[in-house]
């Protein structure tokens, strides 16, 4: 149980780090593009749609692939490990199963956990991208262009 909880927390933290990293690459590092688009007369809403569409599409594709792969892998692992006995119960007090056969319940595999994780990742990625895009749009285009040329 502790290992499962640790892996869950580590997965959530790493997913957050990856979302922040990709939002930095696709939104923050593209400040010059946003500044040029705004200088050419695009409204902030159009710039936001332009930048976020690619980022959200990438997050959506990655989360769909991850959810499908995770569901398939966990299904295979659980079916392989379902019939194995990991310890001997011969000397366990109040042993109910004397023949050491494992009774496996058939559980219908649904993709609901993978689908829920996919929705949460896309929502978190969209929120992070939206926040970074709003921060970028609050700055003046000429200031962004001047900073970029100094580097």
Domain boundaries, the chain: 20-80+111-150
pTM exceeds cut of 0.75: no
Of 113, 125, 111, 134, nearest to 61 by C-alpha is 125
pLDDT under 70: residue ranges of the chain: 78-109, 148-151
In this prediction, residue 72 carries a pLDDT of 85
Q: Extract the tokens encoding 28.
A: 């923050």
For residue 83, give the DSSP letter: T
What is the tens place of the pLDDT at every residue in 13-44?
999 999 999 999 888 888 888 888 888 888 98
How close are the terminal C-alpha atoms of the chain, in Å? 50
For residue 30, give the DSSP letter: G
In this prediction, residue 151 carries a pLDDT of 46
Give CA–CA dist 28/106, Å, rounded: 49
What is the tens place of the pLDDT at every residue in 130-141?
999 988 888 888
């Amino acid at each position: 149980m502790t290992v499962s909880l640790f892996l869950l927390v580590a997965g959530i933290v790493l997913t957050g780090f990856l979302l922040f990293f990709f939002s930095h690459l696709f939104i923050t590092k593209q400040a010059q593009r946003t500044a040029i688009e705004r200088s050419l007369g695009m409204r902030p809403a159009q710039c936001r749609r332009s930048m976020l569409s690619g980022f959200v599409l990438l997050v959506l594709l990655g989360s769909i692939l991850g959810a499908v792969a995770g569901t398939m892998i966990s299904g295979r692992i659980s079916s392989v490990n379902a019939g194995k006995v990991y310890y001997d119960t011969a000397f366990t007090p109040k042993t109910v199963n004397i023949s050491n056969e494992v009774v496996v319940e058939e559980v219908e595999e649904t993709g609901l956990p993978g689908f829920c994780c996919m929705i949460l990742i896309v929502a978190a990625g969209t929120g992070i991208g939206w926040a970074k895009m709003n921060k970028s749009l609050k700055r003046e285009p000429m200031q962004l262009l001047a900073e970029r040329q100094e580097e």
